Amino acid sequence: MDALLQIHGLRTSRGPRQVLKGLDLTLGSGEVLGLLGRNGAGKSTLVDVVTGRLRPDAGVMVLGEHDYRPQSPEAARAAGVSVIEQEFEPPVDLTVEQAVLRRLDGERGEEERRALVREALEAVGVELDLGTLVGSLDPAEQALVEVARVVAEQPRLVVVDEASVSLDDREIAHVHAGVRVLRERGCGVVYIAHRLDELHAIADRVAVVRDGVAADSIPTRGSTPADLAFALLRHEVEERPPRPARERGEATLRVRGLRTENVVDLDLDIDAGEVVGLVGTRASGATEVAQAIAGERTSEVDLFAVRHERFDSPTQARERVAALGGRFEYDTQTIAETLGQASTAQTAAGRLRDAASLVRHLSIATEDVHGPVATLSGGDRQKVTVASASRVEQPVIVLSQPTRSVDVGARRRVHEIVDTFVDGGKAVLLVTNDLTELLELSHRVVVVHDGRAVADLVAARTDPDEVMSYVETGAAPAPAPVRRRRRRAAVGS
């Protein structure tokens, strides 16, 4: 395999902190290289250097046969380097066709343009009207349009920077389809993700970035996601057992006849100290249910009660319902201020000590707890958001994507925070795209299909196949056919 990108001795600082400390990396043409690392290890800084957003302090990069040192993102694109970013801004005022072609020259005829867009969308495995405004699409469809854009551009090198963080398993499969098309065309792909099964499924090889250097390189053929976890953490990761089945008690949250744009008369109960996972396709209405209960969208309801107190609508119950995760809520505060909210200390010095302790426990990469949350990596910001809320007083918690962008090491620590909610008697409604996480953290799983709750499953007594059958069809999986052994004829008959 010919080397497409060669990096030697790359050193880069952000403010006073040296992030990349002599990193060496090689990517071949037609290779998908997975990039794995703890939050703050240097992955995002490496992406910024390769895509021209940040200039290195030292080191050499070679793209193809030529020195490569882009002075801007435009220079990187001119050299054939594209990026699909985690927090990309969708071009909401453009049509699907315009969005896919927006960085290509306009010298093609109308039929040629449309054929190119259709080919790119087909490669990703998504069907969309070319005249639809991107702003009217849901976030997953917007992400897939962004993947189609890159496929249409036919670059030499693509960086996929946690683009799947807001996608479910089926949508991730569409992203992977686009990446495989790029690989088949000889494009080199750097693929960054924290979900080990996802990274293992798409990458030919995984490089582990640790403390600013590429520490290991692991071929995915012949290895497992557990091997990747060991390479990252340098110790085995124990599987978290499912929560045991529990007897139903008196509901802390009672919802009857919830209706939104896509939800029809949905009922839901959650007991004190219980985690109920909510799952469904993006069009099913599952996310709308969570948003309505959190008071984040308009809805109608026949009954909404928290600890016997009835409300005319979920919006009126915001003082009783805490909505956590999904967005970075504290970017304007310092790390110490935000984490100090989880402290029981009565003095500022005590809260500062507790905040510093959480920084160490959650492996948050910072040298200054008085720095703003906005300076942290996406995963570290997510840790801060969830950890700061570990002492919320509301009896009901709507928890959205709690480990979004969080590395595998800190994922368990975030799960421990969810355990504190359970131990504290909170009623928790959990929404996550990660089905494994959903089954690990939930006592029960409620599946929403076509706007209705079609299954209420005990997490410890179900499996991903049963859940996905309800998600996709609204029904339980068909029983496997019983194979009957043929009776042998008696000897001499």
Here the tokens at position 273 are 């100290």
Integer Cα distance of 78 and 51 in angstroms: 11
Residue 484 reports pLDDT greater than 60 = no
Mean per-residue pLDDT, 354-363: 82
Average pLDDT over residues 303-328: 84
Asked if 217 and 359 sit in the same domain, the reply is no
Do 80 and 140 share a domain, yes or no? yes
Pair (340, 367) in one structural domain: yes
Q: Which residue segment(s) compose the domain that 50 sits in?
A: 3-233
Q: Decide if 493 is inside a domain.
A: no
Same-domain check for residues 270 and 295: yes
Q: How many domains does the chain have?
A: 3
Strand, helix or coil for residue 115: helix
Is 478 within the bounds of a domain? no
Work out the average pLDDT over 324-336: 68
Please give the pLDDT value at position 486.
47
Q: Is the pLDDT of residue 344 over 80?
A: no
In a domain, 489, yes or no: no
Report whether pLDDT(336) > 80.
yes
Question: Both tokens of residue 446?
Answer: 């409620």
129 within some domain: yes
- Regarding whether 21 and 162 lie in a shared domain, the answer is yes
Given a cut of 60, is residue 326 above it in pLDDT?
Answer: no
Q: 11 vs 111, which has greater pLDDT?
A: 11
Asked, for residue 92, whether it belongs to a domain, the answer is yes
**Same domain assignment for residues 338 and 447:** no
240 in any annotated domain: no
**Final residue of a domain: which of 359, 384, 409?**
384
Residue 42 contacts residue 205 (beta carbons within 8 Å): no
CA-CA distance, 414 to 402, in Å (whole number)? Answer: 7
Is pLDDT at 491 greater than 70 in this prediction?
Answer: no
What is the reported pLDDT for 361? Answer: 78
Identify the CA nearest to 448 among candidates 251, 264, 257. Answer: 264
Domain of 423, CATH number, reads 3.40.50.300
pLDDT tens column, 379-416: 787 778 777 766 778 999 999 888 877 778 778 878 88
Average pLDDT of 252-281? 95
CB atoms within 10 A of CB 393: 9
Cβ–Cβ < 8 Å for 432, 403? yes
Q: What is the CA radius of gyration of the chain?
A: 25
Looking at the structure, tell me whether residues 171 and 272 fall in a common domain: no
Highest mean pLDDT among 19-28, 143-152, 331-340: 19-28
Q: pLDDT digits over 469-480, tens only?
A: 999 999 988 775
Q: What is the pLDDT of residue 329?
A: 55
Residue 151 belongs to some domain of the structure: yes
Kindly list the distances between the CA atom of residue 289 and the CA atoms of 42, 257, 313, 327, 450, in Å, as whole numbers in the listed order: 37, 11, 13, 17, 12
Q: Could you tell me if 85 and 219 lie in one domain?
A: yes
Extract the tokens encoding 376: 């942290």
Do 166 and 269 belong to one domain?
Answer: no
Reported as a single tens digit per residue, the pLDDT across 195-240 is 899 999 999 999 999 989 998 899 999 999 999 989 888 777 777 8
Same domain for 163 and 116: yes
Q: Which residues of 252-273 are buried (b: 16+ CB within 10 A; e: fewer)?
A: bbbbeebbbebbeebebbbbbb
Same structural domain, 207 and 345: no
DSSP output for 254-289: EEEEEB-SS--SEEEEEETTEEEEEE--TTTTHHHH
Higher pLDDT, 433 or 302: 302
**459 or 411, higher pLDDT:** 459
- Domain-located, residue 98: yes
Weakest-pLDDT range from 104-108, 145-149, 228-232, 249-253: 104-108
Q: Are residues 103 and 198 in the same domain?
A: yes
Cα 362 from Cα 354, distance rounded (Å): 12
